[in-house]
Amino acid sequence: MRSYYEKHRDDKEQLLFARSSNHTFPPHFHLNLELFALAQGEYELLIGERRRRVVGGEIAVIDSYEVHAYEKMGGAERADDCVLQIPYRYLRRFNVARRNLKIAEPVVRDEALCAEILSLADQYLKKDTDERVKTAAIELILARLVERLQFEEVKSKDEGALIRQILTYIEENYRGEISRKTIARTLGYTEAHVSRVFHRYLGVGIAEYINGLRLAYVERLRAEGDERKTIELIYEAGFNSQQTYYRVKQARSV
């Protein structure tokens, strides 16, 4: 199965809230945790390697880097739904509560909770809402979901789980000393296996991907008006030299 990585969503780290849009998306994945709450209508969702029918009163919780796709069913009938993509910075408490376990069953049947999520999203997750209010609403939604979700240990041969571990580790450490060797040692795999799985999912090498994150970090700070010298931002982002930064920047501009 072919899927694509929505890296632009990870780079922007923006909360996405889409309401009643009759969503149809091909297979893709990203760092954001994704929630799909459906009050009315019918969808077929691909989550991982399994297709699921989702109907009114159900919520799908799609884990970070889990391949997923949407297809609306039922012809012209309009659905009442909500897609919520939650950036990693909002997930600290959720990840602590789940104890780094894998979501065993991503679809929850609970009409009251579905209605509650839709209500909270409508009231508090609009674009112009204060960030502190958004954070509180998201944490409440996630806390309610943790109570209903079932979790399980990650299977040793689950490559989908491994790529999530690799990308999460990189996301948390790319500004420091990090390499294929440190990733493999930390996660308990050989360097060759980590490299092979990573390249199969993302189509690039680990070093190239890490430098892309570092470049995006520098560009984001500059876009936000950070007035420090570029050389300070370069080293803060994790680059070990100015030459590496400019080489990566030039390669990305070609």
- Give the domain extent around 96: 4-152
Tokens of residue 222, six digits:
């500059």
Give the pLDDT confidence of 128-182 residue by residue, as tens digits.
Answer: 899 999 999 999 999 999 999 999 886 656 677 788 788 888 888 999 999 999 9
Same domain, 129 and 167: no
**Which of 152, 185, 208 is where one domain is finished?**
152
Cα distances (Å, whole numbers) of residue 182 to 47, 136, 156, 187, 248: 30, 35, 19, 9, 22
CATH number, domain containing residue 26: 2.60.120.280
CB 238 within 8 A of CB 41: no
**Which of 152, 175, 198 is where one domain is finished?**
152
Decide: residue 134, CB within 10 A, 0-12 exposed, 13-18 middle, 19+ buried: middle
**Which of 136, 152, 168 is where one domain is finished?**
152
State the SS3 of 102-129: EECCCEEECHHHHHHHHHHHHHHCCCCC
CATH number, domain containing residue 225: 1.10.10.60
Is the pTM here over 0.95, yes or no?
A: no
Same domain, 87 and 135: yes
Q: Give the model's pLDDT for residue 50.
A: 86
Per-residue pLDDT of the chain (254 residues; tens, 9 = 90+): 445 666 666 666 789 999 876 777 887 888 889 999 999 999 999 898 788 999 999 999 999 888 888 988 877 677 899 999 999 889 989 988 988 788 999 999 999 999 999 999 999 998 889 999 999 999 999 999 999 999 988 665 667 778 878 888 888 899 999 999 999 999 999 999 999 888 877 778 999 989 988 998 999 898 889 989 999 999 999 999 999 999 999 887 76
Q: What is the DSSP letter of 84?
A: E
Same domain, 28 and 104: yes
CA distance 200 to 186: 20
Same domain, 206 and 222: yes
Same domain, 70 and 86: yes
Sign of CA dihedral 82, 88, 90, 93: positive
Same domain, 205 and 164: yes
Q: Give the model's pLDDT for residue 68.
A: 87
> Residue 160 corresponds to which amino acid?
G
Q: Give the model's pLDDT for residue 22.
A: 74
Q: Give the model's pLDDT for residue 10.
A: 66
